[in-house]
Amino acid sequence: MDEVREGWPLSPAEPMSTSVERLGDVTVLAVDGVVDLATSPALESLLAELLEERPEALIIDLTGVTFLASVGLRILAETHEAVGGTGKIAVVASGPVTARPIQLTKLDEFLSLYPTADAAVAALRG
């Protein structure tokens, strides 16, 4: 008997979108949708552009992310490394889609993780 299983939708069905907001000395990158192999090049490119501007502080808000593949975790780690581990980067993530993989891979041991963008802004402005 043949069995057909539906798989996870590919990125064109659930694209990724981003927006950038500058709150004084803090740059907030909000990411929505799927972060996977198909969408990661666009995210990496945007982060490279933002880092070239040398923001005082960078927040990556993953609140709207519906799927976070391992490539997304790699991007977070590499972005942290690119800013020199100065702590001027924060990640907004809560729940099983974003915070759980970050915690399971122990990235939260060096990434500053916050439940909301407001909490991240307040902490970075400290």
| pLDDT score of 2 more than 70 | no
Sign of the dihedral through C-alpha 101, 103, 106, 108: positive
Question: What is d(CA 110, CA 58) in angstroms, rounded to the nearest whole number?
Answer: 15
- Distance of alpha carbon 24 from alpha carbon 41, whole angstroms: 28
Q: What are phi and psi of 111, to 5 degrees?
A: -90, 135
Considering the chain, what percentage of its residues have pLDDT values greater than 90?
Answer: 78
Domain boundaries, the chain: 15-119
Does the domain formed by 15-119 have CATH 3.30.750.24?
Answer: yes
Banded model confidence at residue 7, pLDDT cuts 50, 70, 90: very low
pLDDT digits (tens, 9 = 90+) for 24-65: 999 999 999 999 999 999 999 999 999 999 999 999 999 999
pTM above 0.75, yes or no: yes
